[in-house]
Amino acid sequence: MKITRCLVIFLFWEAAVVAGDVSVSVYEADGTTPFDGRNIIVGTELTLMIRSDSGEYWSGGVFLAGDNRGLGALSARGWDPNTLDWAGSRTEAAGAMATVWEYRDSWLWGCDLYTDSYGVEAGDWFIFDYEATAVGDPNFGFYNYSLSWDEPVSTVAFTQVPSPDFDDDGVVTLADFAHFSSHWLESDCQNSSWCGGADLNTDTVVDMQDLALFSDYWLWGASETEPSSDPNEPGGEEPPGEDPNQTSSITYRIVNPQLLQEITLSLGESTTLYVDKVTDGEGNISMFSVEVNISDPNLGWIDNTPYDPNDPPGPGTARILAEPNRLTEFDYWGPGSMQEEGIVLSGSTWNEGIYDGALASFIYTCEGVGDVILELHDWGSYNTENEKVYPQTEYLIIHQVDPNSQQTMMSGGASESLAVQSDQNTQVAEFDLEETLLWLDEIWNDENLKLQEQIPEKEWQDFIDRVADPYGTSN
């Protein structure tokens, strides 16, 4: 069965999935380099292109369904408040009256696509962004509505593996290698931590197999060509961390009414929490879509049903609060795509930037003892010029206690209590230290990697020393 699946995926990358005269192809994030069908790490971004070799009217869609919504994010481009569709995802070839309408519910997440009836031409019609957000084997359906409204004519599948970009800076470098080595030979790694993510193959031990997987993605995210000083010339991309689209002045965070980002709750206690926007000034975004998820759904839950002003106090409590001049018909709240206990919240304003402060609110209820992190994910934010912006996101830590228990919580907070500590008494996998050190020496001297041009020799030697003596027993 596995061999058959691999063969199908291989054929897909060799020839685009075809639905009549319309096909969908996958490219790297640059939109021009064909995707090679490899396994992709969490955080990888790709581009989807829908094109046709005929100039006939067509309608269809691309959708992530069910559990696939928690594994990848399929995003349209350039919301246009005048046409009320995603104008950035349709091209001139699709015709002046082509439309891209987003559709989301508790099962489907994607876009309906319609070309113009008269002005359509052969060529590239629609373009979308895809981001791998979790480990798994997601697929999305490609629909041709002239054939069926509810059955895809084909599916596009990916295999997504854990990310070795541990510091989440968009590139796998020595800093990530140092994090990996700090967990070297740890065992009894378990789900939700996997020894700080270093157990890349999730077999409970950080060993040579994980090191081999890490090396497969060494320098992932780095530009393969040296950028020129002029970003308008070929090869003139901005260096990592200086993407001109990045808007670091905007921050989304989860807070309580006192704007705290670390709180304590007792068993059974509920509290109102807010998705809060902070910038250097007001009016940086006009549309947002965020998701809040619970690190351990066994310990609490979010009321993801909408507040009804006609029936206070509810049953629902989730509210969209963005101001001013909000387009309430585009408000959205509902179960999170990554887990049903989470919540997705979306809203937009009309021709005016959203004020700083609360974008939305919801009620969280504590149901178990332990530390919980409410994680925040930005699915798509746009400014008043219909350009995508990239806010920073900050989480909330909740220490959950039983007031009737004599147990005390760890003072280290959620980051420590959620981490799985290695058991030094547990037998670890056999490891050939000499072979590993020789292999790392080959990496250092590999002329193709050009590692010596990017990493100071002392830093590399410090890493080698940590691999050779992971527990510092020689000191």
Q: Is the pLDDT of residue 47 over 60?
A: yes
Mean pLDDT of 236-242: 35
Verify that 208 and 124 share a domain, yes or no: no
Q: Is residue 23 part of a domain?
A: yes
Q: Is residue 358 part of a domain?
A: yes
Instruction: List the single range of 93-97, 171-175, 264-268 with lowest mean pLDDT.
Output: 171-175
Verify that 80 and 139 share a domain, yes or no: yes
- Count other C-beta atoms under 10 Å from residue 181's C-beta: 23
Verify that 397 and 282 share a domain, yes or no: yes
Verify that 122 and 202 share a domain, yes or no: no
The angle, 0 to 180 degrees and rounded to 10, between the axes of the packed helices 174-182 and 208-216 is: 170
**Listed residues 142, 161, 180: the one ending a domain:** 161
Q: What is the distance between the alpha carbons of residues 197 and 167, in angstroms, rounded to a whole number? A: 11
**CB contact at 8 A, 111 and 125:** no
Q: Is the pLDDT of residue 18 over 70?
A: no
Q: How confident is the model at residue 101 (pLDDT cuts 50, 70, 90)?
A: very high
Verify that 182 and 51 share a domain, yes or no: no
Q: Is residue 453 part of a domain?
A: yes
Mean pLDDT of 137-150: 92
Q: Is the pLDDT of residue 407 over 70?
A: no
Q: What is the distance between the alpha carbons of residues 205 and 193, in angstroms, rounded to a whole number? A: 12
The pLDDT > 70 percentage for the chain reads 80
Mean pLDDT of 426-434: 49
Q: Is residue 442 part of a domain?
A: yes
Verify that 333 and 465 share a domain, yes or no: no
Q: What is the CATH number of the domain that holds 372?
A: 2.60.40.680
Verify that 153 and 214 share a domain, yes or no: no
- Predicted confidence at residue 197, as pLDDT, reads 86
Q: Is residue 422 part of a domain?
A: no
Give backbone dihedrals phi and psi of 153, rounded to 5 degrees, phi first. Answer: -75, -20
How far CA 433 is from CA of 174, 200, 304, 356, 428, in Å, comes to 20, 19, 51, 54, 13
**Listed residues 138, 161, 184: the one ending a domain:** 161
Q: Is the pLDDT of residue 225 over 80?
A: no
Instruction: List the single range of 27-31, 146-150, 469-473 with lowest mean pLDDT.
Output: 469-473
Verify that 32 and 94 share a domain, yes or no: yes
Verify that 27 and 99 share a domain, yes or no: yes
Query: What is the span of the domain harbouring residue 218?
Result: 162-244+432-475
Q: How confident is the prediction for the chain on average, in pLDDT? A: 78
Q: Is the pLDDT of residue 4 over 70?
A: no
- Predicted confidence at residue 265, as pLDDT, reads 92
Q: Is the pLDDT of residue 246 over 70?
A: no
- Total number of domains in the chain: 3
**Listed residues 105, 136, 161: the one ending a domain:** 161
Verify that 101 and 233 share a domain, yes or no: no
Does this model's pTM top 0.75? My answer is: no
Q: What is the CATH number of the domain that holds 134?
A: 2.60.40
- Spatial neighbors of 302 by CB under 8 A, at least 6 apart, are 292, 294, 336, 341, 342, 343, 362, 363, 364, 365
Verify that 235 and 381 share a domain, yes or no: no
- Predicted confidence at residue 281, as pLDDT, reads 65
